[in-house]
Structure 1
Amino acid sequence: MGPPVSGTPLSWQELQQVAPIARQGAVEQLLSLWKRQKDRSDLEPLWGDEIEYTLVSLDADSSRATLLLNQEDILRKEESQCSSAEEVEPWNEVKLQAEWARHMVEATPGEPYGGDVMDLLRVEGNMKRRRKLIGQFLSPDQHPVPLCVFPGLGEKGQFTLPESPDETSLEQICCPIPRYIMMTQNLLARRQRRVESYIPVFRDEQTKTPFHDNSVSFEYPAEHPPGNGKEGHVHLDGIGLGVGNCCIQVTFQAPNEIEARWLHDQMIALGPVMLALTAATPIYKGYLVDTEVRWGRTSECFDDRTPEELATTPPRYSWNRTYISQEKPANMESKYPLTPMNESVKQRLLDGGMDEPLAMHYATILSRDPIVLNRTDLENFDLNGTGIFDVYYSTVWQHVRLKIPLTDDGPGWRVEFRPMEVQLTDFDNAAFAIFMYLLSRAITDLHLNFYVPIDQLGDSMERAQKRNAALEERFWFRRTGWSSAEQCERPQRQRRGCVNCCSKSTAHASPSCALLTADEIINGEDPKDPSSFPGLVNIVRAYLQYNNTPMMEQKKIMPYLDVISKRASGELPTPAQWMRSFVTGHEEYQRDSYVNEKIRYDLIQEIVRMEDS
């Protein structure tokens, strides 16, 4: 959720007063930082992942699963253990971090991964160690579960431990870190109304008609009364019902700024299909719903737009609206104006030496109001610091993020891929992380071009959120013109086995985007058609050959690539499909869309069993 804010963050009223000064400071810090880092080179292809876990307590006596509000205790114990432990091998190290909700813990590898196959084969083991480390600080009936959304989150009554005399509230769930508390309050103050996110309920044989969800989260004072709900929809009315969700994010270090910007743009087009393939959210507030991912719900619950901005400004948490590489093709921009856009911010970045695409990208982010700042950073402004810029940039959550180096001796230019849902097992999480890393290397080394027009991207992100999207939806994707003719025509690339994926007919075909199924994007179209798209998994396999990866090492990687391939073909279900099937096949399910306490308990118990098997 971004960097910590030292001291006491400013309230919304205070932020409004200092916003112009803060924005100017963020712009100047960005320019100073960019000038120092724009020529930086980091040739080692380091990368890493972040997994957020849901803390769950399973009571066998009552067959009840509840959220465990135990984040602070776990982090405190882990810090104590680390300070007294002897040094361990870097590959076995993990880091635990706070997240917005007290029932969440974020875990990462202690050191970045390298790029050779043996490093990739350690990823799954590192993920297992993260779960085991968290589990050391819990009782036997408590578990860190890679669960995107707890099925009972937001339901009326008590769904957390420890219990309180009153129903679960925002104050109980939110992590007691000043940044998170003030950010939440400022978002609500800016939007001037209750959170209203409506999810269509999954209509089963016995689902009530009309269906009304009138429960409220009790997060708001009397001046913001609850709405009337929406027939046929589950109602989310609190920030915690969107931000308290878990995901897996993967970050790649690029050789330099130019390559990072190219990789950033290609990752944008991959967002919808990877969101659909990782779908893991079929249940909200105890009901089966007719969507299967968290993305839109998080966006709506974390939305700070005023009523006047709803029609013109995208949410703070949303898909990308800007491509940033200077090599981007023509006619990729949206037909709609890019908002918000403070022209003076954009002009200052241009005057400071930035090119148009990069200046536009940063300007639309820095044109937003700040939602969390510390007065000390303003009063003791440091041009060569990064504090003000970093809190601005880190509080706009797009599905792909360019990460500028913040220090000379820290990580270099990076790209963070953010849309994927967390998977139910370490093996599956490792599979998607490894696949995305190998694909990022193929994109960078072979200069692959997956651009689609921004408006088509938005359409694809909407499609990706529908029920069973991995099998039933189509997504805009670049079918031809995706490979670089210059790269493909190099003799060594043809000699190393890339010819099947980067044939001349593909390289010289006129660029075109088409609606493809996830199976066609991942596994390829009809190979008899010389202009057909070969599939991302086949591109990765060809890249391993091009990279002279020994056959024995390729075989060890293949089980992870098979997960991606079989998800797209339908041979393996998505987590959402599996959970939906588990619920509808449970003996206590009444075909009324409701997932009762016993079903939830058995579902999470089975997920824990799968993790440990």
Structure 2
Amino acid sequence: MGLLTEGSPLSWEETKKNAQHVREHGITQFINLYKKLRDREGDILKWGDEVEYIIVKFLDDKQQCKVSLRSHELLTILNQKELEDPTGVNSLWRPEYGSYMIEGTPGKPYGGLLAHFNIVEANMRNRRKEVTELLNSDEAILSITSFPRLGSEDFTYPPTKPTPDQGATRSLFFPDEAIYNGHPRFKTLSRNIRMRRGEKVAINLPVFRDKNTKIPVDDSYKHSKAALKDHVYMDAMGFGMGCCCLQLTFQACNITEARTLYDQLTPLCPIMLAFTAASPLYRGFVTDVDCRWNVISHSVDCRTEEERGLKPLNENKFVINKSRYDSIDSYLSPQGEKYNDIPLLYNEEDYKKLVDNGIDHLLAGHIAHLFIRDTVSLFSEKVHQNDEEDSDHFENIQSTNWQTMRFKPPPPHSTIGWRVEFRPCEAQITDFENAAIVCFVVLLTRVILSYQLNFLIPISKVDENMQKAQKRNAAREEKFWFRRDITTHVSPPAAAECCRAGTTNWDIKECDMFGQMTVNEIINGKPGEFPGLISLINNYLSGMDVDADTHCTIQQYLKFIQRRASGEILTTASWIRKYVTEHPDYRNDSVVSEKINYDLMKTINAIQKGDKYCPLLLGASTMSKTKDSVPSALNEC
């Protein structure tokens, strides 16, 4: 979720007064960090994953399933191990937005050995077990992206009620009690985003139209002008930030490598979003989308009417095209510069200050662009800082720009290096799936750096792909802009120019390096046009010394990736949609009833525990040879 500062949150009025102070000092703090750390070299490859989970409670006598508001209680126990032995724990636990959510990461980052790929799944299993041991017999921890009935009547345990006229969200559907109460950041963000915007956030998802679907979907339109009659309407930050995801962070050896990884992974973000699609159900309805991305984007959209272009600029400086949760707007490496075909919005004074202090124009533009946003959470103890020693003002803005990729400088006085965070993936049901996706993306980073590959396409095409990726069944049916010629590092200027012009005349020779491909073609290859990501990974592995167990596990993961990409097995979203629409209680009305939700959650719990096998979701076999630790002989190498 980002920076968790201890202290007393300021009111929105006080926070607003300090917005420029935070911006000015945040820029200064980044400049100071950059000057100290720009020449840092020699950090070794480290990486790790973050999996977010939802705690649910089964009311078996009523055949109902609710989210269980126990995260603070559970985290108090889980974090005690870390307090007692910070370097000896297998898992680290952090709060997330919902009081029914927790986030788990490995106790230590993984390193450069290929054998580390064989301990990812085991660590995920142990994380799940660690929490399960603290749960009641009628509770479960689920790695699902969205709880299907979040925001429906009586969806929490213990029961809570929304308070539309008071509180942090003032939602028609989402009670403040469902926001994590162990730290003030979360309710403060909810309140301040709503107040800065000048109204509640508004999320409208098109309903999946079945033969008995009713329009209007419900009576939301009677209570809010923002609600669309043929959409599922949601009005609180919790509908987005209450979703779960799977994220990866990579430490690079230096700033140049970090910038390269940031750029090269960016075109893969929409591909992996479509591939991991896992969230077609919202507020008790089947929707016509498969992913969470736009839901979260709208759930934290603090732009005023002026900034959204609905009113002439008066109190605000800019018309801003995107929410603070969205896809990135510029590449950072010199190689990527020619594909920055979207005008980058920033305050000229901030940009000049960065450039005048020796920061190149690409990185200066990126940072200045982040800083067009106001702070939406500030603590009284953190207003005045030592800019030579602290970075909280920088992180305040950095950590509330929730984008597909995040470029992360080393923290002050830390052994941590320059890092890149990969953020688009949705959480999957089983540890096998999550581990397979993690290892696939990490292997891609090795291939990119080892073979010096080039996946860059115009940023505008990445944005187009992000919208396609969220459509129903996008992984099978949509075509995405992707680079055919991945070995060309310096493309002719004409290629970038024709892409900037938006031409679709791909017969132009200079533009032949880009085209539209399906997820299957991108991952498994398209004869004569593209080798496929799996082929690239296997070529890389063929030249490496891999122990037998790790080789077996990696191949199981890659087979799973291939099968899902080809459509042989379903995405999580497609499987969930199929389960609901084929349920005996489904009335072809787009409604996810209590009974359907209960059975779906029970089935998901059985699948993740291994009590029920689901070939439609997992394929023929998911028997990896994952282990708890790297063999000592390999660790010594």
| SS in structure 1 of the partner of residue 537 of structure 2 | helix
Change (3 A) 1:512 1:166: closer
Would you say how many aligned residue pairs link Structure 1 and Structure 2? 573
1:465 offset after TM fit, Å? 0.5
1:370 offset after TM fit, Å? 1.1
Partner of 1:334: 341
1:214 offset after TM fit, Å? 2.4
Encode CA deviations 1:359-403: one digit per residue, 9 max, x unaligned: 000000022111112233333433221111111110100100111
CA distance in 1, matches of 2:421, 2:178: 27
Encode CA deviations 1:111-130: one digit per residue, 9 max, x unaligned: 00123222111000100111
Contact 2:525 2:533 in 1 (8 A): yes
1:547 offset after TM fit, Å? 3.4
CA distance in 2, matches of 1:552, 1:429: 19
1:422 aligned to which of 424, 427, 432: 427
CA distance in 2, matches of 1:579, 1:600: 10
1:182 offset after TM fit, Å? 1.4
Contact 1:234 1:285 in 2 (8 A): yes
Partner of 1:304: 302
Q: Does 1:457 align with 2:462?
A: yes
1:461 offset after TM fit, Å? 0.4
Pairing 1:30-179 to 2, within 5 Å after superposition: 30-82=30-82, 93-155=90-152, 157-164=153-160, 169-176=174-181, 177-179=183-185
Change (3 A) 1:545 1:165: closer
1:443 offset after TM fit, Å? 1.1
Partner of 2:315: none
CA distance in 1, matches of 2:576, 2:330: 35
Change (3 A) 1:86 1:30: closer
AA in 2 matched with 1:7: G
Encode CA deviations 1:297-336: one digit per residue, 9 max, x unaligned: 1100110001111144111000000100122252x1234x
RMSD: 2.2
Contact 1:267 1:417 in 2 (8 A): yes
Contact 2:95 2:102 in 1 (8 A): yes
Pairing 1:240-251 to 2, within 5 Å after superposition: 240-251=238-249
Partner of 2:194: 188
Partner of 2:326: 318
More displaced 10-residue stretch of structure 1: 464-473 or 551-560: 551-560
Partner of 2:523: 522
Pairing 1:282-293 to 2, within 5 Å after superposition: 282-293=280-291
CA distance in 2, matches of 1:606, 1:36: 52
1:165 offset after TM fit, Å? 6.6
1:239 aligned to which of 237, 242, 254: 237
1:211 offset after TM fit, Å? 2.9
CA distance in 2, matches of 1:414, 1:522: 25
Contact 2:162 2:175 in 1 (8 A): no
AA in 1 matched with 2:176: E
1:10 offset after TM fit, Å? 2.1
| SS in structure 1 of the partner of residue 520 of structure 2 | helix
Encode CA deviations 1:119-149: one digit per residue, 9 max, x unaligned: 1110001001111111121101101100111
Encode CA deviations 1:27-83: one digit per residue, 9 max, x unaligned: 111000011111112442110000000110011111100010001110112234555
AA in 2 matched with 1:321: D
| SS in structure 2 of the partner of residue 476 of structure 1 | strand
AA in 2 matched with 1:324: L
Partner of 2:478: 473
Change (3 A) 1:373 1:384: same
| SS in structure 2 of the partner of residue 65 of structure 1 | strand
CA distance in 1, matches of 2:387, 2:272: 40
CA distance in 2, matches of 1:568, 1:364: 35
CA distance in 2, matches of 1:8, 1:565: 50
Contact 1:5 1:178 in 2 (8 A): no
- TM-score after normalising by structure 1: 0.90
| SS in structure 2 of the partner of residue 308 of structure 1 | coil
Pairing 1:16-35 to 2, within 5 Å after superposition: 16-35=16-35
Q: Does 1:603 align with 2:603?
A: no
- TM-score after normalising by structure 2: 0.86
Unaligned runs of 5+ in 1: 218-224, 486-507
CA distance in 2, matches of 1:511, 1:15: 50
Change (3 A) 1:358 1:511: farther
CA distance in 2, matches of 1:27, 1:557: 43
